[in-house]
Amino acid sequence: MEVLADIDVLICGAGAAGLTLAIDLARRGVSFRIIEKLERPFGGSRGKGIQPRTQEVFEDLGILDRITAAGGIYPPARDYRSDGSYEEKSMFEERAPTPDAPYRKALMLPQFLTEAVMRERLAELGHAVEFDSSLIGFDHGEGGVSVHLRSPRGEERVQTRYLVGADGGRSFVRKALRVAFPGKTLGVRAVVADVRLSGLDRDAWHQFNSGDMERLVVICPLAGTNLFQVQAPIPIDGEPDLSPKVLERMIGERSARSGIEIRSVSWASAYSMNARLADRYRVGRVFLIGDAAHIHPPTGGQGLNTSVQDAYNLGWKLSSVLAGAPDALLDTYEQERRPIAQHMLGLSSRLLDAQRQQGVQARGRDTDQLDLDYARSSLSHDGDTRISKIFAGRRMFDAALVGAAGQPRRLFDMMTGPHWTLVRAAADYRPDAGGREGVRVISIGDAAELRDPFDQLGLVSGSTLLIRPDGYVGATFDTASLDDIEPYLARVLPPLSLLSATSGSAAPTRLS
Ligand SMILES: Cc1cc2nc3c(=O)[nH]c(=O)nc-3n(C[C@H](O)[C@H](O)[C@H](O)COP(=O)(O)OP(=O)(O)OC[C@H]3O[C@@H](n4cnc5c(N)ncnc54)[C@H](O)[C@@H]3O)c2cc1C
């Protein structure tokens, strides 16, 4: 079947997931539109924790330094006792940066600022979110997706090759696909509000009645703003009053302190905690990412991070298949990301239970997302013999290398960008040794392009490593299996004959 499409991808929803995908597609030259039903950017703090693995992703997308400059690190948690005395402890187990993991601390930035940084990056890449534009229907088939949009300009039909539902927990796209969203309601309802207040200092995350879910209230200064985020469990039923006076009274009663005064509320919401996972992430040419595919309790700060990494996993695969790689590559999105969300649901629910019983918990290594892997993915391939401590499917760690000219080089610098990275462990550098479009080839050895002075990678000479565009090890090849490299690349990249054809033009593209 051959159909004319206006664009390659329509992204429905401009939250953290949709914006991440938009940045990734923009830097790859894919033609897309990103629509958002809100009239203006969302203004609430919600997901404020940026985990170490997401920081690595943001480095690749060119926004880490801005996110860091706009936000800050978490202050210590100050747990007040009923007599007004308190104990202070770090929210995180102490972990110093190392050459293999340069970002070890979660950053704090309210979600509205994270999204503002993302929109700035998107603008630099020549794209903008279309606000006040809603997806109101779609038909999908083998040839493409016909989407129905509504905006102040009127209603519009758009033909797109792929539709991505990045439209949050109540996802219109998921419901229209009739994809089930099983899971449970966790019996906790909470208020979250961004407020200006006086009577508390900004150098601690204030926590009153930790472990008592009826009287708990936590008040966190939001880095990069003069706001505090207030979070407190509330009764399951009834319509809560979120006015400044009522919030102030609740804080006064639960903290047993006078003098905490709320000056204004910039955003407030009441929500019920759920742990749910979509049965499918892909139906034909339609995909679900972010909260549209999974919702978690906020404990452990996993939701936004998991959403960003869904988009980061899907972006390069869409781009590659649009350029001619086999469609089966897109099946690996669900194969890889759904088990991760399943794991996250368990983790955040366990942390919620622990919080119910023992109060707010310090976050361990399991929340920083550095150890997540795709080892069971059909894309992960290890040669017969181990070539190093590196395994297919694991996150490729960073390494402090030295360039042949003597300058310091990070492995992450070589990986930054939308390409694959092919690492050859070779004694010396041989020009013209198999580079191809979309693959950056680097050699590591004593007289090669780069040296590994402390043998951080531990590569056996003659072996080869293929690192995916999203920073995971795709495949390892020992000296006996180097012939397997081309067949592997044929599964993930367009055939060489198609590579020069562009998919990013504004002109209509043919669907087949
Ligand atoms: C109190 C609280 C604290 C949290 N803390 C953390 C934390 O510390 N760390 C963390 O990682 N996560 C946290 N989260 C979770 C995080 O906020 C979400 O996981 C994240 O927002 C998901 O991003 P998303 O882009 O998938 O969805 P959303 O941010 O929900 O964005 C979806 C967008 O789609 C738009 N949309 C919906 N339907 C349509 C339509 N038909 N047409 C066009 N647009 C549409 C919506 O308007 C919305 O802007 C927290 C959440 C809450 C509530």
How many whole angstroms from 42 Cα to the centroid of ligand 1? Answer: 9
Q: Is residue 376 part of a domain?
A: no
pLDDT at residue 360 in the model: 62
* 167 and 291 together in one domain: yes
User: Residue 215: CB partners within 8 Å, gap ≥ 6?
Assistant: 208, 209, 254
* 296 and 339 together in one domain: yes
Q: Is residue 372 part of a domain?
A: no
Residue type, 360: V
Mean pLDDT by 10-residue block, N- to C-terminus, for the chain (512 residues)? 76 98 98 98 94 97 98 94 90 84 94 98 98 98 95 96 98 98 92 97 94 91 97 91 96 94 96 94 98 89 93 98 97 98 86 71 77 95 80 96 97 97 92 82 95 94 94 94 92 79 38 34
* 166 and 199 together in one domain: no
* 325 and 232 together in one domain: no
How many whole angstroms from 291 Cα to the centroid of ligand 1? Answer: 6
> Which one of 341, 367, 393 terminates a domain?
367
Q: Is residue 91 part of a domain?
A: no
* 410 and 485 together in one domain: yes
Q: Is residue 512 part of a domain?
A: no
Name the residue among 113, 130, 129, 117 with its Cα closest to residue 46: 113
Q: Which atom of ligand 1 lies closest to the CA of 134?
A: 42
> Which one of 273, 299, 315 terminates a domain?
273
* 44 and 176 together in one domain: yes
* 315 and 172 together in one domain: yes
Q: Is residue 97 part of a domain?
A: no
* 296 and 354 together in one domain: yes
Tell me if residue 101 falls in helix, strand or coil: strand
* 293 and 243 together in one domain: no
* 244 and 175 together in one domain: no
The whole domain housing 238 covers 184-273
Q: Is residue 330 part of a domain?
A: yes
How many whole angstroms from 309 Cα to the centroid of ligand 1? Answer: 14
- The count of structural domains within the chain is 3
Q: Is residue 87 part of a domain?
A: no
pLDDT at residue 17 in the model: 98
Q: Whose CA is nearest to atom 11 of ligand 1?
A: 304
Q: Whose CA is nearest to atom 49 of ligand 1?
A: 15
pLDDT at residue 433 in the model: 66
* 331 and 420 together in one domain: no
pLDDT at residue 505 in the model: 36
pLDDT at residue 508 in the model: 34
What tokens were used for 6?
């206006």
pLDDT at residue 493 in the model: 96
Name the residue among 315, 327, 243, 229 with its Cα closest to residue 285: 327
How many whole angstroms from 47 Cα to the centroid of ligand 1? Answer: 8
- Contact status, residue 276 vs residue 294, Cβ threshold 8 Å: yes
* 438 and 481 together in one domain: yes
457: domain CATH number? Answer: 3.40.30.20
